[in-house]
Amino acid sequence: MTTPVNPQLDFIEITQLIHAARQRAVLAVNTALIELYWQVGQFISRKIAQAEWGDGVVVKLAEHLAQIQPGLRGFTRPNLFRMQQFYEAYQWDEKVSPLVRQLPWTHCCKPSYMNSICRMHRMRIRKS
């Protein structure tokens, strides 16, 4: 004798698989974006430190990006400077540096949040 099939249970299982895959995709995209922001911040920091760039060049970079990729969001002048600050704040900390690149960008921009994470791990944030 066979047990009656309940397709609703199967539907729920498929729905859960879809939800889990979406979550993994969001995390992968977030990780890639944080790594990009780290690299952009590192590039800007290096150029400014070597006196190759000034603040005006960062403004021109933001304008250039807006012009060549009109739908691109998040690369305004203030955000480019945030990326630089993000990199400079954590570049020398061997423990924190890999961790911050795994957090959502909004968390990385909040010093109070990062201070609490560091306190939890008994670490200090280097001030630039």
Lowest mean pLDDT among 19-23, 33-37, 68-72, 123-127: 123-127
pLDDT at residue 30 in the model: 82
Rounded Cα distance, 2 and 114, in Å: 57
pLDDT digits (tens, 9 = 90+) for 35-46: 898 899 999 999
pLDDT digits (tens, 9 = 90+) for 71-99: 888 899 999 999 998 888 888 877 666 66
**Average pLDDT of the chain, as a whole number:** 80
Contact 44, 84 (CB under 8 A): yes
Residue type, 52: E
> Would you give the distance in Å from CA 13 to the centre of its chain?
31
Residue 12 scores a pLDDT above 50: yes
Rounded Cα distance, 56 and 62, in Å: 10
Helical H segments across 3-128, by residue range: 7-49, 55-68, 77-90, 96-100, 105-108, 111-120
- Name, of 3-12, 23-32, 74-83, the range with top average pLDDT: 74-83
